[in-house]
Structure 1
């Protein structure tokens, strides 16, 4: 398990190592070993950590860069709707996949740079925010 991932998840909740140790029923020393990745975890410990850090168990193992740069399913739906709405006039069936992919790529680049969708971009597109 990536040490920095646990540290980040803990700090995101403003928890101390002692807080997490207490929440999962272990000592501060043992929790420190878990954060450093020197203690092997079984399913029970993974489940306890996930509850304490308010994430799904698999999220304990997802690298931060991946988690930060992926849109949620709702945001992805909005991106697809925007790509479809912004297709240039005259796009042929043959050109359709490339046109949609190009729009999605541009939107994902914007999404990653901005840390998520911005309300002003949604309003400018004229799309319903709940798509």
Structure 2
């Protein structure tokens, strides 16, 4: 029976590659664009290109990376649920512009919070 050797050093937290954060940021903005369409808003300029955002997050340190990862996941879950609810209500013949605008404001606030995490801690 094979035996496993005990780890010789504490395992460091695994930091995802820049590409993973960039992809998450890009997908978050795609969902935000869908919400903007549902809210009948014009196009929203992206504050940072996905790779630039990911590079800034990584430069801010591993704690910020973890916070941003969690924030992107949380925001994506909220957007997914909200978009599905708005689409279902729209298909049922209900007015959904106000709900979409509220979801857009939540997305915008969450995005601002994520952007604030790109600033280096002093």
TM-score of the two chains, using structure 2 as the length reference: 0.28
Higher relative contact order (CA 8 A, sep 6+): 2
TM-score of the two chains, using structure 1 as the length reference: 0.27
Who wins on radius of gyration, i.e. which is larger? 1
